[in-house]
Structures are given as structure tokens and as C-alpha cells.
Amino acid sequence: MNLEKDKFLGRISSQYRDIYKVLVNEKEILGQVSGKFIYNSFNKEDYPAVGDYVQLDRDDDKAGNAIIEKVFERKTVFKRKNANNGQNEVLASNIDYVFICMSLNNDFNIRRLERYIAVCYESGAIPVIVLTKADLCEDITEKLMEVEEVSIGIDILIVSYKDKKSIEQVCSYLKEGVTICFIGSSGVGKSTLINNILGEDRLATNGLRNDDKGRHTTTRREMFVLDNKSVVIDTPGMRELSVDTKDLDKTFTDIAELEKMCKFSDCTHTNEPNCAIKEAIENGSLCSKRYASYVKLKEESKYLNLNFKEIEKEKIKKMFGSKKEYKNISRHIKNKNKY
Ligand SMILES: Nc1nc2c(ncn2[C@@H]2O[C@H](COP(=O)(O)OP(=O)(O)O)[C@@H](O)[C@H]2O)c(=O)[nH]1
Ligand SMILES: [Mg+2]
Ligand SMILES: [Zn+2]
């Protein structure tokens, strides 16, 4: 990191619109970006995000907010693409592990898990699956098998706040300098787990006694530093997480392998002969729902990287096979109307 002379290194710990909380020399201070920063920033993703290392003009906020002068290059970036304007939003950065939390009771959903894994690989961080509320689940072995099927090579932790040993397992990842971001639907127990890791109730959780059902307690992404200098980031539940294709092959290694075995390299796995995907679905070695999930994510990410005009073109292509065909059809219609 290229810190200029007489400047200070900080790390963004949370964001409140244009004001940031920044950790500097183990203190938390308030900061905002400089006018020059705004002038030089064209995209939303250029702005500071939780987890970013930044250069500050001072290390206190006694005489007003510290000025954030630049954001240092991100080692890993956890992004979400806004489907409406195509802009990327950085959710968190410089993360070593993403703990994908899913409860073993109501929230259990393998298809959603696949999506989270894909998002995580895209970020560059290492995914770890955390299955929560083990105390509320009666068929753990069965569910674990389902999870294992879609998470080859990924660590899986089973936790319950009632089981201290299971919390210790989570803590074993928290080494000095390591940053872990917790993601997953609202209510699965992320904040509860982090409180248990911190050893104190620092975070508000969705308590059953005095809270409405389904209320979102964690409202913003927030970073906490442990005594051993490891860092955890809590996030609120994220409804729509868009996925980019580049790394779908990592999430669906089984499908990527099968595709290589189709007779035709451009096989669409629909009506070609000797299609390895179709065969695998027929003989039961590939779950059809998993394949459908893969197709859906792939389709989604294809659209994400297109601009408006390209999306329209794609839609036409889908309807009529190709643009050329569409032109032929429209000419045909026009001619028909002439006579
Ligand atoms: N039975 C059980 N309940 C849990 C466990 N972990 C969290 N909860 C409860 O689940 C609710 C939601 O927890 P919270 O940490 O706010 O979830 P978050 O939205 O993911 O941060 C709270 O009522 C917690 O007490 C667990 O391991 N077992
Ligand atoms: Mg929470
Ligand atoms: Zn095929």
C-alpha cells in the first residue's frame, strides 16, 4: 500500500450515507471523502466500502471529520450489480473468508446456497458454509448430505448457539489479520453467532421475545475487530444477489466437467445426440433441479453484463432464433400487409 508521507492508514468499518466510520490506530473515527475524490470518481464502486483500506489526512476527528483521500487497491471485492442501472455496488472488500450462513430449519434452501457460493467465488474470497440452528433440526445428516452435494471442496460447519464447541469451530478461522464476512438471509443467526464469537452482546439480534417476526435487526454492514486482531463483518439479509458468470464453473464443477463430454462442443443440451448432461440427468447422477439452477444463474449473468440495447436484441433472438430471422419475419409481415 502506497501511503503518502504524513498520512494515515485507516480501514472503513461502516457507512452512513456520505459519512464513514474508519478504524485508525485501533480507534474508530468519522471520515468523509475529499472534493478531489468526488471529482475523480465516476462510478459508485470507486467510493469507499466496508473493509476498504484508505488514506486519511489525520488520525482523529476532534476538529471535524477526517478526510478520506484515496481507497487502496482491493484484494477481494464482494459486489452486487444493480439490475436497473448496471452499476456495481461494493458490499465489502478485502475479505479472506465469506461465511455463508443458512439455517437448518426454515431457511434451508439448496438452490439459494448455490447462488451464494457463486457470488462468493466471484469475490475472490474463500467460501465456508455455516449451517445454523442445529438444535432445531432433526435430520441433520440428511441435510448435510444435500449440502455436500453442491459444495465440493468447501468447508461446512454445523453450529448452534447452545453448543459452545460448535462456536469454537467457527473461531478457529479467526486468526490475526484475517477478515471474515458473514452473509445469508435475515434471521438465520449471523449476529447471534458474531456475538458469541465476540463474547459479548455487541450486536442487536432478532430476539423472539420483544421483536416482530421477520424484522431486520442488522440494518447495515458493520465491522468488528477481535482482541487477536481478526476482523468480522456482519451484514443484513440481502434479498437479491446478482451473479456474474465468470466463476459459475467453480460453483458447478460437476456440470462443467460433464459439458466437456458432450459430443458437440457447442452442445445446448436440448436435442443434440450424445449429450452428457442429458444422459446424467436421465441416469440420476445429475439432479435436474441443480442443472436448472445453473441455467438460470447463467442466463441471469448474461443479462447483467449487457446494456439496454443488447438486452432487447437478446430478447428478440430468444423469441425468433436470431436477429436475421427476426428481420426476415418482419419483412414477410410487411410484404403480407402490402397485398
Ligand atoms: N434455536 C436457535 N435459535 C437461534 C440460533 N442462533 C440464532 N437464533 C435465533 O434466531 C433469531 C435471529 O437471529 P439473528 O442473530 O438476529 O439473525 P441474523 O438476522 O442472521 O443476524 C434470534 O431470535 C436468535 O435468538 C441457534 O443456534 N439456535
Ligand atoms: Mg443480524
Ligand atoms: Zn450436451
pLDDT 10s per residue in the chain (339 long)?
A: 889 999 999 999 999 889 999 999 989 999 999 999 999 998 889 999 999 999 999 999 999 999 999 999 999 998 877 766 777 888 899 999 999 999 999 889 999 999 899 888 888 999 999 999 999 999 999 999 999 999 989 999 999 999 999 999 999 999 999 999 999 988 899 999 999 998 877 666 765 434 444 444 677 888 999 988 999 999 887 655 666 666 788 889 899 999 999 999 999 999 999 999 999 999 999 999 899 989 888 887 776 666 666 667 777 776 766 555 556 555 655 554 444
The confidence score (pLDDT) of residue 339 equals 43
Ranges in the chain annotated CATH 3.40.50.300:
90-234
For residue 118, give the DSSP letter.
Answer: H
pTM: predicted TM-score of the whole model, two decimal places: 0.81
- Ligand 1: atom nearest CA of 136 is 1
CB 47, CB 55: distance < 8 Å: no
Q: Is the CB of 135 under 6 A from ligand 1?
A: yes
For residue 305, give the DSSP letter.
Answer: T
Among 102, 192, 198, which residue has the most ligand 1 atoms within 8 Å of its CB, making it the best to mutate?
192
The confidence score (pLDDT) of residue 88 equals 80
| Coil, strand or helix at 325 | helix
Nine cell digits for residue 176: 490475526
**What is the rounded distance in angstroms from the CA atom of residue 149 to the CA atom of residue 291?**
13
Q: Is the CB of 186 under 6 A from ligand 1?
A: yes
Ranges in the chain annotated CATH 1.10.40.50:
247-338
Which ligand is closest to the CA of 100, given by its number? 1
Q: Is the CB of 207 under 6 A from ligand 1?
A: yes
Number of neighbours of residue 6 by Cβ within 10 angstroms = 7
The angle subtended at Cα 314 by Cα 309 and Cα 315, nearest 5°, is: 100
Closest CA to 57 of 48, 69, 46: 69
**What is the rounded distance in angstroms from the CA atom of residue 194 to the CA atom of residue 221?**
13
CB 170, CB 142: distance < 8 Å: no
The confidence score (pLDDT) of residue 208 equals 46
The confidence score (pLDDT) of residue 325 equals 55
The confidence score (pLDDT) of residue 210 equals 41
The confidence score (pLDDT) of residue 74 equals 96
**What is the rounded distance in angstroms from the CA atom of residue 54 to the CA atom of residue 52?**
6
Q: Is the CB of 205 under 6 A from ligand 1?
A: yes
Nine cell digits for residue 186: 435475515
The confidence score (pLDDT) of residue 133 equals 96
The confidence score (pLDDT) of residue 302 equals 73
Number of neighbours of residue 236 by Cβ within 10 angstroms = 17
Q: Is the CB of 103 under 6 A from ligand 1?
A: no
Q: Is the CB of 191 under 6 A from ligand 1?
A: yes
248 CA from centroid of ligand 3 (Å): 17
Domain range 90-234, CATH class: alpha beta
Nine cell digits for residue 17: 450515507
**What is the rounded distance in angstroms from the CA atom of residue 127 to the CA atom of residue 147?**
13
285 CA from centroid of ligand 3 (Å): 15
Ranges in the chain annotated CATH 2.40.50.140:
8-73
Residues with beta carbon < 5 A to ion ligand 3? 262, 267, 269, 275, 277
Q: Which CATH superfamily is domain 8-73 in?
A: Nucleic acid-binding proteins (2.40.50.140)
CATH code for the part of the protein at 247-338: 1.10.40.50
Residues 6 or more apart whose Cβ sits within 8 Å of residue 121: 127, 247, 250, 251
**What is the rounded distance in angstroms from the CA atom of residue 205 to the CA atom of residue 187?**
8
Nine cell digits for residue 280: 446424467
| Coil, strand or helix at 107 | coil
